[in-house]
Amino acid sequence: MADTKLQELIETLKKHGVESGEEASRSIIEGANQKANEILLKAKAEAESIVSSAREEAEKNHRQLQSSMEIAASQLMTDLKRTIEEQVLALPMKQKISETLDDTTFLKDLMTTCVREYVKNPEHTDLNVLVSKEQQEKLTDFTMELVKALPGERKGGNVTLNLRSDGVAFGFIIGTGDGVVRLDFTDEAFLELFLKYLAPRFRSYFKAIDVKGLSSR
């Protein structure tokens, strides 16, 4: 009888121990699975964050690169237009103007027109004319004859024409003795005048060029 009771006690303890062990094992496994899932979710979130940050950084770098390329393309076009305008328009025009204004006969005709218009006002007397040193030597006698040839009462000594060389390369600058009136007929003045009207039309040919399109190629 005692043996039977002892055997039942042993079986009960064994059963309780097995069940407790199984329960503990299940708890450990569940905890491990939960921890593994947490680690996996955290790793996945971190990976997605890294990918998202990398994508944003890549897009940011792309935008910066695109902007830099557009700025560079715009600067290139500006420099190119300036160079083309200078080589194709300004320099040839300046050369032609300088050649024309270096023609003494042309200067005499232009100067004669200016002086004759100026002396139509009876109050106008003194005139200063600035020319190049080379032209001063060629025009000295001409200016004296020009004053003598003035029409009517202006002929002779009541009008003075002072011819000087002072910083003029081509053409001349004519003005009153008091400096109130000053007309510039130099090569620089003519070039500025012509470019004022021709350059905008010349530059309009470049307006159709798509700078953004160039930078994206």
User: What is the per-residue DSSP string for 96-164?
Assistant: HHHHHHT-HHHHHHHHHHHHHHHTTSTT--EEEEEE-HHHHHHHHHHHHHHHHT--GGGSSTTSEEEEE
| Predicted pLDDT of residue 24 | 62
pTM equals 0.56
Burial of 26 (0-12, 13-18, 19+ CB in 10 A): exposed
- Count of CB atoms within 10 A of residue 154's CB? 18
| Predicted pLDDT of residue 2 | 59
| Predicted pLDDT of residue 105 | 92
* Mean of all residue pLDDT scores within the chain: 77
Indicate if the alpha-carbon torsion angle 63, 66, 72, 75 is positive or negative.
Answer: negative
In the numeric block, which tokens belong to residue 148?
Answer: 């003598």
pLDDT tens-digit series, residues 114-134: 888 887 776 667 888 888 888
Q: List the one residue out of 127, 136, 188, 144 whose CA is nearest residue 165.
A: 136
